[in-house]
A and B are shown apart, each in its own frame.
Chain A
Amino acid sequence: MQEHDLSYVRTEMVLAQAAPAGEKGAGAWVRKNLFATPADSILTIIGLLIVAWILPPFLDWAFFSAQWTGADRSVCATVAQGGVQPDGWSGACWAFVNAKFMQFMLGRYPDAERWRPILTAVIFVALLVPLLIPSAPRKILNAVLFFFVFPFVAFVLLTGGWFGLRPVETPLWGGLMVTLVLSFVGIAVSLPLGIILALGRRSQMPIVKMLSVIFIETVRGVPLVTVLFMASVMLPLFLPAGVSFDKLMRALVGVALFASAYMAEVIRGGLQAIPKGQYEGADSLGLGYWQKMTLIVLPQALKLVIPGIVNTFIGLFKDTSLVYIIGMFDLLGIVRQNFSDATWASAQTPITGLIFAAFVFWLFCFGMSRYSIFMERRLDTGHKR
């Protein structure tokens, strides 16, 4: 080994230089992101004009000119319309939402019994939140309580008739409560039914396969409105005379069948994405069909299609608003019904109510989509290529 004279090599690192003045700070960011080229600058100006055109009037309408409290329509109408506001006034009528809030949530549920849906909601949240937090303990107990015990508790609490609870007929139900009941049952029924239909569609047995294909393609080919019409008009025809079905029940059947066809297609996508080796591996281990599916294939397939499943849930949640068409009052239906309430009818009432309903729907759907992104990242076991 020969000794080299390494004195020309630095022994300590050179301190990092500050970025050039033109490349940092707000000015550089604005230049890079908003005014990079002349065309970009024009786009930015157009964008600013759009924002300026929409945002300040909206903020003014929704907050600064809005009426938050009041007893009737007079606070939300101009003098010419029989109210107290100056001419040309335009603002949200939150007083309307405020006054009708309980109705928007629970429909015409009797006042004295309102503690029951509220208690149900509290139990629902108390069981759902730990189920959604991955690190919360006792997942299995929690899931059993949520999927098997809670539905019975909710059924008893909401309908009544047992344990001295006063029966409350479903026509009195309404508002967000109906939306949530429909979506919860729809989700709980459509997932297993969808799995069965998807397995049926990929089955080796020609008759089972054909029946699944016919069901899935027919339901997917027609609008939900016609399925709901079918459930509400034709179901009574199909049953023996005297057997009558609750209206809510009919809507539930329609929504659940509709969602399960879409769910089946999503899950089929997952089943097809599992490599053949997994099926063959399960066969070579001597697993039977159901063992193979529940232990090997479905856990992988369902994980792959979580975004699709959640999208179907979101679609189902939004679609529950269609029960308004067959004469039920979910959140949107009850908001719509209150437009014609003489105490509150004014030019601002409809749009205020709709924006409130839109906000509630948006909150739920946006929450679901964010949670699905979170779960997707968490369940990603690193097998992605």
Chain B
Amino acid sequence: MALQDIAGTTDVGRGSFVNDPKIRGIFFQAVVVILLFILVYWIVGNTIENLRRSNISSGFGFLSGRAGFDVSTSLIPFNSDSTYARGLVVGFLNTLLVAVCGIITASIIGFTIGVGRLSHNWLIRKICTVYVEIFRNIPPLLVIFFWYFGVLSVLPQPRESLHVGIPLGGENFISFGTYLNNRGVFLPMPVWGQGSWLILAGLVVGIALTIFVARRARIRQAATGEQFPVFWTGVGLIVGLPVLAFLLAGMPVTLDLPVASTFNLVGGLQVKPEFLSLYLALSFYTAAFIAEIVRAGILGVSKGQTEASSALGLRSGQALRLVVIPQAMRIVIPPLTSQYLNLTKNSSLAIAIGFPDLVAIGGTILNQTGQAIEIVAIWMVVYLGLSLTTSAFMNWFNAKMALVER
């Protein structure tokens, strides 16, 4: 309203609706909606016409068709007679698998490097800086290629597999039962025999008891000030109960070791190089970003907090655990969430090396059936769903960690 007074446009009255911001806003939005509608109408018309010409029927009916392709890595049984829908589920599970493994490893490396960048030790600080500056500034796809073509595919043939272990000199050798060759890593695989459920039950009971003990200890400390060694009790319960169950059940778990045969290794758990290079690359790449976030978080806690906690008589470990880290986590969590999401999204680079994740399998189906719109819609829904779930969880965690002010 004040506009025209200062602009001095005399011929337009104060009440003129041409200059009313509300009416202008409505007019402008109406134009946007009409333009958008025309655009969508034009696109939909073109799409229908194009689909009709190339004889592609739209709809999700194609999902029950026979896949006709095989996948190299699958968590659930899959063969070329399975349906496309099952193929997409396989891809989704593989995406989840690589994302979860990658997030765990990237967090461990990232926190270590991030703390290392703040070390008093010059050498450690420099090593961590070099790591961060290298990995932040090269594309993730290049890191994936580096592991896949540069490292894993130049490992020896299966016949000359590298045997992982600690050499003791001469023939003595502590074997880990693990082999490395250009077909991946071969690990010993536990075989769960009769009565193995007791071990799982032991683990669950151990975790439940630990939570219970921790809660009791907190209440007691709040009431009386007495502390209770929750950490070691928890370790004892979580590790001890399953071990006890293992012994009580008569040691039902055996290890299936990989054994060298004429051409390949037989038995054990084979981790394919595609998975390995994707997993390693995503972990190493994202770790550089997590390190920077952790560093910023720790630097964000003012020095007075550390000094105050030492004035209260806390040891440096206690000060870190009880004072610095809880406050740093508050700064760290929001950007950490977006890094986790980035890692999940970057797992779609799997298609470049042929790891069958959601995008790679979707791409294969797209090429076979030509159902571009449906496949892209499935991708979008799944990734948006993953994003929203992760951010919902991290928001909950963030709210739990957030500062409760007066």
- Give Cα A241–Cα B124 distance, bound, in whole angstroms: 61
Contact with A along B228-247 (1 / 0, CB 8 A): 00000000000000000000
Residue of chain A at shortest CB distance from B338: A220
- Give Cα A208–Cα B137 distance, bound, in whole angstroms: 36
Most chain-B Cβ atoms within 10 A of its Cβ — which of A48, A220, A224, A229? A229
> Could you say which residues of chain A place their CB within 8 Å of the CB of B33?
207
Q: Is the CB of A354 within 8 A of B145?
A: yes
Q: Which of chain B's residues 358-406 have a Cβ closer than 8 Å to chain A?
A: 359, 363, 366, 372-373, 376, 379-380, 383-384, 387-388
- Give Cα A56–Cα B352 distance, bound, in whole angstroms: 32
Contact A358 to B142, CB < 8 A, known contacts A207-B32, A233-B376, A366-B137: yes
Is the C-beta of A373 less than 8 angstroms from some C-beta in chain B?
no
Is the C-beta of B105 less than 8 angstroms from some C-beta in chain A?
no
> Could you say which residues of chain A place their CB within 8 Å of the CB of B124?
43-44, 47
Residue of chain B at shortest CB distance from A368: B137
> Could you say which residues of chain B place their CB within 8 Å of the CB of A220?
387
- Give Cα A263–Cα B28 distance, bound, in whole angstroms: 24
Residue of chain B at shortest CB distance from A206: B29
Looking at the complex, which of A19-27, A32-40, A94-102, A105-113 is the stretch in contact with chain B? A32-40
Q: Is the CB of A332 within 8 A of B146?
A: no
Q: Is the CB of A318 within 8 A of B138?
A: yes
- Give Cα A314–Cα B36 distance, bound, in whole angstroms: 32
Residue of chain B at shortest CB distance from A360: B138
Q: Which of chain B's residues 339-356 have a Cβ closer than 8 Å to chain A?
A: 345-349, 351-352
- Give Cα A323–Cα B387 distance, bound, in whole angstroms: 23
> Could you say which residues of chain A place their CB within 8 Å of the CB of B6?
285-286
Q: Is the CB of B141 within 8 A of A324?
A: yes
Is the C-beta of A239 less than 8 angstroms from some C-beta in chain B?
yes
Is the C-beta of B120 less than 8 angstroms from some C-beta in chain A?
yes
A104 to chain B, nearest CB (A): 13
- Give Cα A336–Cα B352 distance, bound, in whole angstroms: 11
Q: Is the CB of A225 within 8 A of B349?
A: yes
Is the C-beta of A58 less than 8 angstroms from some C-beta in chain B?
no
> Could you say which residues of chain B place their CB within 8 Å of the CB of A221?
380, 383-384, 387-388
Looking at the complex, which of B47-55, B79-87, B262-270 is the stretch in contact with chain A? B47-55
Range, interface on chain A: 35 or more
Q: Is the CB of A361 within 8 A of B137?
A: yes
Q: Is the CB of A361 within 8 A of B376?
A: no
Contact A321 to B25, CB < 8 A, known contacts A223-B345, A225-B351, A237-B50: no
Residue of chain B at shortest CB distance from A367: B137
- Give Cα A314–Cα B50 distance, bound, in whole angstroms: 37
Residue of chain B at shortest CB distance from A207: B29
Is the C-beta of B149 less than 8 angstroms from some C-beta in chain A?
yes
- Give Cα A239–Cα B119 distance, bound, in whole angstroms: 57
Is the C-beta of A137 less than 8 angstroms from some C-beta in chain B?
no
Is the C-beta of B196 less than 8 angstroms from some C-beta in chain A?
no
Is the C-beta of B2 less than 8 angstroms from some C-beta in chain A?
yes
B106 to chain A, nearest CB (A): 17
Q: Is the CB of B142 within 8 A of A357?
A: yes
> Could you say which residues of chain B place their CB within 8 Å of the CB of A233?
366, 372, 376
Checking B120, B154, B366 against A351 with a beta-carbon cut-off of 8 angstroms, the contacting residue is: B154
Q: Is the CB of B3 within 8 A of A286?
A: yes
- Give Cα A348–Cα B33 distance, bound, in whole angstroms: 58
B81 to chain A, nearest CB (A): 27
Q: Which of chain B's residues 99-120 have a Cβ closer than 8 Å to chain A?
A: 119-120
Is the C-beta of B330 less than 8 angstroms from some C-beta in chain A?
no
> Could you say which residues of chain B place their CB within 8 Å of the CB of A36?
120-121
Is the C-beta of A211 less than 8 angstroms from some C-beta in chain B?
yes
- Give Cα A208–Cα B32 distance, bound, in whole angstroms: 8
Is the C-beta of A376 less than 8 angstroms from some C-beta in chain B?
no
Residue of chain B at shortest CB distance from A47: B123
Residue of chain B at shortest CB distance from A289: B21
Q: Is the CB of A358 within 8 A of B138?
A: yes
Checking A223, A237, A286, A361 against B139 with a beta-carbon cut-off of 8 angstroms, the contacting residue is: A361
A284 to chain B, nearest CB (A): 8
Q: Is the CB of B25 within 8 A of A205?
A: yes
> Could you say which residues of chain B place their CB within 8 Å of the CB of A347?
154
Contact A44 to B121, CB < 8 A, known contacts A318-B138, A354-B142: yes
Give me the interface of B with A, judged by CB distance under 8 Å. 2-3, 5-7, 25, 28-29, 32-33, 36, 43, 46-47, 49-51, 53, 119-124, 127, 133-134, 136-142, 145-146, 149-151, 153-154, 345-349, 351-352, 359, 363, 366, 372-373, 376, 379-380, 383-384, 387-388
A-B contact pairs, 17 of them (CB 8 A): A33-B122, A40-B120, A43-B123, A44-B123, A207-B33, A208-B29, A218-B384, A221-B383, A221-B384, A225-B359, A233-B372, A233-B376, A234-B376, A322-B139, A332-B139, A339-B149, A350-B150
Give me the interface of A with B, judged by CB distance under 8 Å. 33-34, 36, 40, 43-44, 47-48, 50-51, 204-208, 211, 218, 220-226, 229-230, 233-234, 236-241, 283-286, 288, 314, 318-319, 321-322, 324-325, 332, 336, 339, 347, 350-351, 354-355, 357-358, 361-362, 365-366, 369
Closest 6 CB pairs of A and B: A286-B6, A351-B150, A365-B137, A33-B122, A350-B149, A223-B345
Extra contacts, 12 of them, besides A43-B121, A218-B384 (Cβ < 8 A), are A208-B32, A222-B383, A224-B345, A226-B380, A229-B376, A230-B376, A240-B46, A332-B139, A332-B142, A336-B149, A354-B149, A354-B150
